[in-house]
Amino acid sequence: MTSLRHVRYLKAVVDHGSFTRAAQALHVSQPALSQQIKELEERVGAQLLDRSGRKICATDMGTIYLQHAGRALAELEQASRAVRDVADLSTGSLRLGVTMSAATYLIGPLLQRFRKHYPGIAVTIRVAPQKAIEPLLRDDELDLGVGFGDLPSEDIEVTPLHNERPTLIVGKHHTKMRKAMITAKELAHMDLALLDASFSTRRIADQYFRSKDLRPKIVVEANSIEALVQIVRNTDLGTLLPANIVCAGLTAVKLQPALETRRAALLRRRNAYCSAAVRAFMTMAQDMIKDWDDNDDTSTAIRSRKAARYRARR
């Protein structure tokens, strides 16, 4: 009878392209691994691996076998996680995919609270664009995503969190620091450091300027929010980022008219198994967001004080 171990061993050899590396990853001897694969091929009655090249790969029949057996393996592993999913959350795991902006201001406070209540849960975080997070949710490589809920795929379930609105952010020595508000025309005349076109925040900014027939003075482009924060803090450049990102040495200046908002959200594969750890994290995220004032007329300073009071109460 073919066992779950046989399927795991076959998948490991195909994934690593080598019996030696697969044996090391599985913590078994290479002869034992080879024997298990041989037994599997005899039981199936077909050659599942092509051993003729420098890299071992699946044959056509091996590929088909793994497609079917892989689904069964995923279901069995999900069942095992469900069995281990203890009600008190003293153990377990949580695999999160987080967009870069959420990683900058949201995931820290969330994990601070989550770790305080459930220190036994092992958390793995992968920071990636949402277009990379959604496939990982579908393939059960992530339990939960923290991203945006505006354009999800049909098989992704969205739980809204809060509105994220980009605004002008400058350093404490910038000439615009003391202004309560600037116009789009004034913004277009400033020297700006912006995210590159791969970011939705940049696309929102580009649309903002196009809609007003303005051409911004972009002197620096970057693919990192952290890099922009450091640049703006230490230069006379301004940037357009979510107001939530404001920290020491930075100031948010309102724009008139304001930029478009995006709805930050929790993302899950529709009908996926929802572990106790996932449920606890989702509940905590929603509870924390309730203390955040999404009113566009509320200043960043007031929001920061509210967030500080929230953390103190927890």
**Rounded Cα distance, 266 and 264, in Å:** 7
CB contact at 8 A, 217 and 193: no
Residue 214, number of CB atoms within 10 A of its CB: 13
Task: Domain 92-163+263-298: state its class.
Answer: alpha beta
Burial class of residue 235 in the structure, from the number of CB atoms within 10 Å of its CB (0-12 exposed, 13-18 middle, 19+ buried): middle
92-98 vs 144-148, strand pairing mode: parallel
CB atoms within 10 A of CB 176: 17
Contact criterion met (CB below 8 Å) for 51 and 18: no
Same fold, 4-84 and 92-163+263-298: no
Closest to 280 in 3D by CA, of 92, 137, 105: 92
Give residue limits of the domains in the chain: 4-84, 92-163+263-298, 166-260
pLDDT at position 304: 47
Cβ burial of 188 (10 Å; 0-12, 13-18, 19+) is middle
pLDDT surpassing 90 at residue 126: yes
For domain 4-84, the CATH class is: mainly alpha
Q: Residue 88: exposed, middle, or buried by beta-carbon count in 10 A (0-12, 13-18, 19+)?
A: exposed
Computed over every residue of the chain, the mean pLDDT equals 85
24: number of Cβ within 10 Å: 14
CATH of segment(s) 166-260? 3.40.190.290
Instruction: Reduce the secondary structure of 53-112 to three states and give it as a string.
Output: CCCCEECHHHHHHHHHHHHHHHHHHHHHHHHHCCCCCCCEEEEEEECHHHHHHCHHHHHH
Q: pLDDT by residue (tens digit) across 232-274? A: 999 999 999 998 888 888 999 999 999 998 888 999 998 888 8
Mean pLDDT for 124-134 is 91
Residues 176-233 have pLDDT tens digits of 777 889 999 999 999 999 999 988 889 899 999 999 999 999 999 999 999 999 999 9
